[in-house]
Structure 1
Amino acid sequence: MKFPFRLTISIFLLSVFVWNCTKEKEIYYCPMHPTYTSDRPGTCPICNMDLVKKDHEEHNSSFASGSNTMNPSDTTKKVSTPQETDSQKSKNVLEDVSSNRELFLSLEKQQSIGIKTDSVLRRNLTKKISAYSSVAYDPELYTAIIEYREMLRSREFFPDTGSSLGGQNLQIRLRQLGLSTDQIRLWTSGKRDPSELILGGKSGRSHIYSQIYESDFSSVHVGLKILFKTNVYPDTTFHGTIRSIDTILDKNTRTLRLRSEVEDKQQKLKPQMFGNLEIQIPLKQTLSVPTSSILDTGAYKIVYVQTGPDRFLATSVKTGLNIGDWTEIKEGLKEGERVVSESTFLIDSEARIRFGSALHTH
């Protein structure tokens, strides 16, 4: 009796094992993230969407490809071969993920991490440059101007004396001291008194010397309007214009000297009085985004463009001038697009979690 009973139990267990082996295993996947699969119903841990059951044909196709984590709707995916190394397989998966960098975020998720967007527009902006400054006291330039004027007068009375080389040397010296050709003509014509450079303002004007860094030099030119303020007269703003820019860069401080003239009808400003100069550079119709939208990865800069109410795309951009709260866009964006302007770092972190290092592979 014991032998038939044991035989019956063994046959029963064998039948159950064979039935489990032949039973079709159900697979569920996320429509937004096909790389995630599960053997039971539920929600996607990435986007919280309900998992969809994979039908028989899709499951067989996925099984035949050697991986059940590939997107069943993509028939162009690479098939892993025995010769592929682990790093090659990992690279293939990253390529599959990076082919769709569009990030899905529900409205509730956007509110929870504080995402806000702003438009890419052409704006009239004003770049402001502050420069440490002082009221001019320049005996060297004063002496050079006087010598050049005397040389020109001596030529008028004694045209046969002197050499043109001496006049050229004096003119070069004035150029080295920062005067343009027009400024040299003005100072030597008798219309301006060189003593203004050592005695202070005359004829209702004062001269201001300022230092600007070489990084700002490309934005500054003669004729720009400036504002000068000093702590001696905190309630007074002196308005003026840039008249000339030195031609030689200071190798130690990496700065250039500006020479400006300001209105000073009451002759308040005295030589070597310190103050601060503000240069206002108007930039009309500049394509720009909020500076907070820019993420600098080191190798390039990216912004997150809103492609739909709940979709965002990491986009590489080329930037220009940084103008306070705004940054000029040279390439990568079009007018009218919307970009993430707040919580940019958080949305980038979310994208890195979902897409990994392939996100920033441009």
Structure 2
Amino acid sequence: MKYICPMHAHIISDVPSTCPICGMNLEKVELGGNSKEIQIDVSGGMQQALALKVAKVEKDTLWKFVQTVGQIDYDESKINHIHARVNGWIEKLTIESVGDKITKGQLLYEIYSPDLINAQDDFLLAQDTLKRSGSSENYKDLVRKAGLRLELLGFNKSQIKTLAKSKKTQYRVSFYAKSDGIVKALSIRDGMYIQPSTEVMSVVDLSKVWVIADVFENEQSWLEIGQKAEISVPAMGIKGIEGEIDYIYPELDAVTRSLRVRIVVKNKDLELRPNTLAKIDIFGGPNRDTLVIPQEALIQTGKENRVIVKLENNSFTARKVTVGMLSQGKAEIKDGLEEGERVVTSGQFLLDSEASLKGSLMRLSSGHQH
């Protein structure tokens, strides 16, 4: 048995006494060295003074639900890098700046390129030779290959038909947008000389975007591809846009211990802008018949999770628990508690400090016995 000061835990005595620092009577502490659980006795009056509240450990259905944050990003599969496949000079550039909207079929730029002039001349020559030869199969193949070469250099089918009909070489060749989108990068200006290695521009389709969310370790086990999510951007007044998980990244962030999850969201009105922060709610199915306690009962130290359990006769004990998912203010308990036990939900930190102190004294006493 030891006597300790409730205010100054390092004041320990073998006999009843008072604290030399604050003058309070030292409190008696029972040292049950062989007992598995450290028990703290708190009188009914003291429980009221500490405003201790308890809750029963019970079985309940926890809905799998994660509220987290993330960032809106481009759908990388929708980024189109535009390169001219020839050397030449840009003329009549219709795009003014990054962020411009473009529509499928819109003229992007014209290019003067000796390579394209030669390719057109070769096509017209092959076509003329075929006409004069009387539709020989060999010359038909020659025309087909010359047309394919033009297509591979950037001509569309309509332009090739027009060339075949008019029989006139275009000295400035027009290039058109192949899809709707937003200009993400623009590397050229009127009059610039470009090569096939020059990225003329990149265009991104924002009708779908990715939202990259961070999910913490204890919420990862139930995540699945196809699960529904709801995206909100408070800064822009956007709420309740639906999406779904389409990819779960294979590794955790080494610093935050979080897992990245990719959510695909339709963005028809282009409301969602890349690099904007978003709030994300991810919904899963029910986790039925699971043992739960109020989340505020948990004492989380980083190393372990503990709760204070109320025993009979105004006794309390600190208990280590294994926590599963956290949802809707409740914590799933996988190990450490039984259904029907009572845990302290308010005032538990004072009792936990007392239990830690008592445990230290027990180890101290055990050390003296050796």
Alignment TM-score, normalising by the size of structure 2: 0.48
Instruction: Kindly indicate whether structure 1 or structure 2 has the higher relative contact order, using CA contacts under 8 Å at least 6 residues apart.
Output: 2
Select the structure that is richer in strand: 2
Q: As a proportion of its length, which structure holds more helix?
A: 1
